[in-house]
A and B are shown apart, each in its own frame.
Chain A
Amino acid sequence: MGGGASVHKSKGQDDSDSCNTSQRDGSSSQKQKSGFRIHRKKKQKEAPRQSTGTGQIRPHQGSMGKAERGKTISLKAAILIQRWYRQYLARMEIRRRYTWNIFQTIEYAGEQDQMKLYNFFNALLTHMPQKPGIDIGSKDGANETSSLDSVSVSSGGDASSTAAASGEQRTGGRVKLRKRKLFAGNGACIDLEDVTVENDYKGPHVKLPMTLQNIQELIDGFKKKKILHVKYVAQILRVAAANLKALPNFHQPSTSLSKQITICGDLHGKLDDLLVIFYKNGLPSPENPYVFNGDYVDRGKRSVEILLVLLSCFLLCPDGVFLNRGNHEDHIMNMRYGFIREVRLKYKVFSGRLLTLIDQVYRSLPLGTIIDGRVLVVHGGISETTDLKLITDIDRQKYVSILRPPVLETMNSDGRVIPLSELYSSSHNGSEWKQVLDLLWSDPQNGTGCSPNTFRGGGSYFGSDVTEKVLKKHGLQLLIRSHECKPDGYEFMHSNKCLTVFSASNYYEEGSNKGAYVRLLGGPSEAVEPYFVQFNAATPKLRSMTIRQRVGLVEASALRELRTRIRERQDALTQAFNNYDPDSKGLISVSDWCVALEESTDLKLPWRLLRPKLAELDSATGLVKFATTFQEETQSDSEVDVTVAEVLYRNKSSLETIFRIIDKDNSGYISMDEFAEACDLLGKHLSTPIPQQQKLEMAKSMDMNKDGKIDLNEFMETFRIVNAEHEQDDSLDYEELDD
């Protein structure tokens, strides 16, 4: 079983409106959050035995004076130490909390960025006005107007003749013999499912229809870090997509037979967490049904494995496994948050076609689950306009990506880019799209009311009144959702009517949070009774750390992320600094520094308190030496002009996104021209043009085998190597398929 696990069971509901880790007088501890806080009633104890032998307090003894004094001093000692200790704890707690804020702020700003970025480039790259007769009613929702939307072209093996073609064009030593065989002859490419499994393949085998033993073998293979052969992956994806497609938009399971059901939240590629859940709660079956509430992929490094395991479980037991779509089941998100990278790394030349198959799975995933007609489970949440009946009638297959409307409308007739919010109101399709967006992207908020979720860039914020209203309107009792990481793995809001459950432990960093899952016990005729299990798929190292060390670790990680973002904005920031420093002394006041940072990074954080960690003061004047904000410069090894490489490196997530947009067929290669185009676009996005000459030189140096194409992964790898110690390591400790 991957990682260790400590499981703490606690029952019942907890009416707290907040991140609730404190207890009693508010001092926090490692205690798990439970429904009932059991206040241990300590027996009134006597003074500890004095080792000097004055013994117990006996009122009539001659040594009473000494004993009394001893008792008083002990009491004083105890109180003093306890006070100090509580202060110690509180100081850690506040750090933990604001570290959390940092992570969350950066994460949601990243999501917002991604949407903005995508829309911006989508608009720029769409040269043509819409072709008439966009066929949204077609079975595949195939939408050929956008040059970007090639992923919606038919499923299966023939979508990537382009991939095959580019495979053929590759010459030189890079192409392995085996692959040449695949694309030999007339260039026709073989269906992935017809790829022969080599004799020396040591991974698990799959034979459909799925059996329990086969799932066990898959899990065992994954534990041993095997990569499943592409043939089997393609099989599983294809059959799963077909089966999922037949399901309605909302699963409607009943617990009348099983008398219980388990709901899991975001997993985000953390296979260890899924394995902990199965270990503690059993594999899915009709008697042990599961709802998985989306976000299976991205961020964690084993997204492929999680997806395969979940889909296999679904194939084995469609009456016991209910899969909801999350906002990360979306190729636009996958571009930025690592899933596409992972598929490329593991499946190389096959990744293009696999990703097309995966998109089919995404579109076929239902949008939510309604248990016993009374508990609604959706990934994000709701909004005041949520109408489940309306959603039931939608053709969800149209939504290849939730972030794009089924009808392409990002540019109006005079070429102006229409921002997302305006598209909401435009047409019937707009309001339908909003319904779906809200389900997968919304977040609950304290208080009442409903407003657009500007933090993330999609969905709504919904208050307790909205929850109340929507639940009532549909005759429901409870809303269960995921989408937000919680320190304890779960959290109740809105008078216990809205429950968040999040199953990826250590999500931001080791030690940042627990994972949890919730079990609803009892059949449909009994009251809804949630039972929580928290866990931590932690390493032994983590478990032996003290709270202080863990908080320190998480904080260091948050600061690294923050510095990355600062570096991304270096140009804008430098400009802002210079504005405050007209005499070019290199010094500005702390206040000015804070303002510059908040405006340039767009993050609402306590900059004044973070300053000591991010920039140095000049001891003489007490002003900030603002250049030190960027102290962790990267050292670029390449012969290319350092500035260009740095700009590109700093913006690598945006750059990756742009690349992947351009790399329409997901072949992993773009041409030199396309690379130049990408740099141009990046320059526009940053308002920092990249000089032509340097662009070309860069491109040339990237083209390793001089065939006029740039391997995206190698390009990204270059930068990873350059700053390896700061990276979340994309460990290539997997068994390579083709060696």
Chain B
Amino acid sequence: MAGELSARDIERAKFAFSIYDFEGGDTVDAFYLGDVLRALNLSPTQKLVEKLGGTKKRNEKKLKVDEFLPIYGQAKKDKDVGNIEDFTEILKLYDKSGDGKMALAELSHILQSLGERLDKDEAEEILKDCCEPEDEDGFIEYKPFLKKLMAGPYPDDA
């Protein structure tokens, strides 16, 4: 499976791996598996990370680079990443008036209560970073929000 990764992929994977190799022993704590994969521009669910070998606590398992690369290859295959149309469709449900806006509080609530929940600080951070400030009715435009989110934190970069 590592054979499906290009040389460039492998190099980037090794770099990300090395950043999380805190002990200098060429191993990464499986607790950080999700972080490493996401740093490589994948967006696995927490469930998938667990399935691939991620742990919920530190110091339970360590991964070596040769173990990691196949996991990376596997995670890359997960095509169900959603595109902006999917997102938009979904959030339209909350758009009462059809004007491209939804209640900020509602979005915040969704993120904190459904699915693989974010906690309050995380929800606040993401909304602060990706949303325009809410208007006087507490509404925000969700399309720009989604665009910004999907562009990632440093869109000017390779």
Q: What residues of chain A have their CB less than 8 Å away from a CB belonging to chain B?
A: 16-19, 22, 24-31, 40, 42, 45, 47-48, 50-52, 70, 73-95, 97-98, 101, 445-447, 546-548, 551-552, 606, 608-609, 612
Contacts and interface: CB of A to CB of B under 8 A. Distances in A.
The prevalent SS among residues of A at the interface is helix
A26 B34 contact: yes
B125 A29 contact: yes
A22 B114 CA distance: 22
Given A75-B115, A87-B43, A94-B16, A26 B149 contact: no
Contacts of A447: 23-25
5 contacts: A16-B58, A31-B121, A73-B89, A82-B118, A86-B43
Interface string B130-158: 00000000000000000001101110011
A40 B119 contact: yes
Contact of A547 (B16, B24, B87, B129): B129
B1 interface: no
A91 B41 CA distance: 7
B93 A26 contact: no
Contacts of A52: 93, 96
A151 B111 CA distance: 64
Contacts of B94: 50-51
A89 to B, nearest CB: 7
Given A52-B93, A81-B149, A26 B31 contact: yes
A91 B153 contact: yes
Closest 4 CB pairs of A and B: A18-B22, A90-B38, A78-B115, A78-B114
Given A81-B149, A606-B18, 18 more contacts: A25-B56, A26-B31, A48-B109, A75-B115, A78-B115, A78-B116, A79-B116, A82-B118, A84-B149, A90-B35, A90-B36, A91-B41, A93-B35, A93-B39, A94-B39, A98-B19, A546-B128, A612-B158
Contacts of A73: 89-90, 93
Interface string B84-127: 00110111011010000001001001111111111101100110
B69 interface: no
A73 B35 CA distance: 26
A86 B38 CA distance: 7
Summarize B's interface: helix, strand, loop or mixed.
helix
Given A75-B115, A80-B86, A87 B15 contact: no
B117 A50 contact: no
- The interface centre, meaning the residue of A70, A87, A101 with most chain B CB atoms within 10 A of its CB, is A87
Contacts of A82: 45, 111, 115-118
A84 B150 contact: yes
Nearest to A613: B157
Given A52-B93, A91-B152, A447-B23, A30 B38 contact: no
A73 B114 CA distance: 11
B11 interface: yes
Contacts of B41: 87, 91
A45 B154 CA distance: 34
B46 interface: yes
Given A48-B113, A74-B110, A78-B114, A17 B35 contact: no
Contacts of B150: 84
B71 interface: no
A77 B36 CA distance: 24
B35 A81 contact: no
Nearest to A549: B129
Contacts of B153: 88, 91-92, 95, 548, 551
Given A48-B110, A548-B153, A25 B49 contact: yes
Contacts of B89: 73
A16 B22 CA distance: 10
Nearest to B145: A81
A91 B44 CA distance: 13
B154 A95 contact: yes
Nearest to A552: B154
Interface in B14-72: 15-16, 18-20, 22-25, 31-39, 41-46, 49, 54, 56, 58
A89 B122 contact: yes
Contacts of B112: 42
A494 to B, nearest CB: 12
B121 A30 contact: yes
B3 interface: no
Nearest to B121: A29
A522 B28 CA distance: 38
Contacts of B23: 17-18, 446-447
A88 B115 contact: no
A231 B147 CA distance: 63
